[in-house]
Amino acid sequence: MSHRFAGRTAIITGASRGIGLGIAQRLVDEGARVVITARRPESLAEAVEQLGGAEHALGVAGKVDDADHQAEVVARAVDTFGSADLLVNNAGINPVAGGLLDLDLAAARKTVEVNCFAGISWVQQVRKAWMGEHGGAVVNVSSVAGLAPSPMIAMYGASKAMVNYITQELAVEVGPGIRVNAVLPAVVKTQFATLLYEGREEEVSAPYPLKRLGVPADIAGVVAFLLSEDAGWMTGQLVTVDGGVSVAGGPL
């Protein structure tokens, strides 16, 4: 494993488990210090220990769409590790299943607040505190559900379509010093996605050319690339990481 992130600090939201924790682990393995967020302090404490303790990681509990929490996280990243070079907007929610016709609009508004508006606010906060002067890189964790209708998770997919647009708009606005890209996973085996595959994993993975669902490490490697200088001429890109299902014509 390289040390291409040595001396750099990454903030990863929603990182006490699943894809977020996988990304944090990959960045630590490559030399970064990480500041991870989630709602539950207990889960964050366990994640920090898994990442190697206080030398490598700091956990700050709070709500991802709370502006005061965002400002605190960025300030503590700079105070503790000396910078806030990288941001991964990973936290997301899917409080309702099904289509749009019977949608609880209050739940829909909350989905957009967390999945879309919070990511914009995090970029505003980290740009003001560090990246505006020093530069940096941002990766938004979107979804292939934002590319085509997904009736089981319609509002989630709509919010991720908005994340895709936000990614490209921000890339135009914050360049050249800050790069903004997105990664679009298909079904990844996490607690968050169990509704989509639990009890029928073989059936769900059958349309995938690679014949398996994703795991957090599959996404973490691509995120690490996008954050690194190896992707230094990439911004505004939506990188699909889906085992090939989108090109095979299978359901997203």
Q: In the predicted model, what is the mean pLDDT of residues 172-182?
A: 98
Cα-trace Rg, the chain: 17
Phi, psi dihedrals of residue 84, rounded to the nearest 5°: -145, 75
Per-residue pLDDT, 250: 66
In this prediction, residue 101 has a pLDDT band, given cuts at 50, 70 and 90, of: very high
- Is 156 catalytic? The answer is yes
Instruction: Report whether pLDDT(196) > 90.
Output: no
User: Which SS3 state, helix, strand or coil, does residue 76 take?
Assistant: helix
Q: In the predicted model, what is the mean pLDDT of residues 130-145?
A: 98
Q: In the predicted model, what is the mean pLDDT of residues 151-162?
A: 95
User: Which SS3 state, helix, strand or coil, does residue 95 take?
Assistant: coil
Give Dmax (Cα) for the chain. 49
Q: In the predicted model, what is the mean pLDDT of residues 159-177?
A: 98
In this prediction, residue 252 has a pLDDT band, given cuts at 50, 70 and 90, of: low
Catalytic choice (156, 165, 197, 208): 156
Look up the CATH number of domain 9-248: 3.40.50.720
Q: In the predicted model, what is the mean pLDDT of residues 125-136?
A: 98
* Alpha carbon of residue 75 to chain centroid: 20
pTM of the model: 0.95
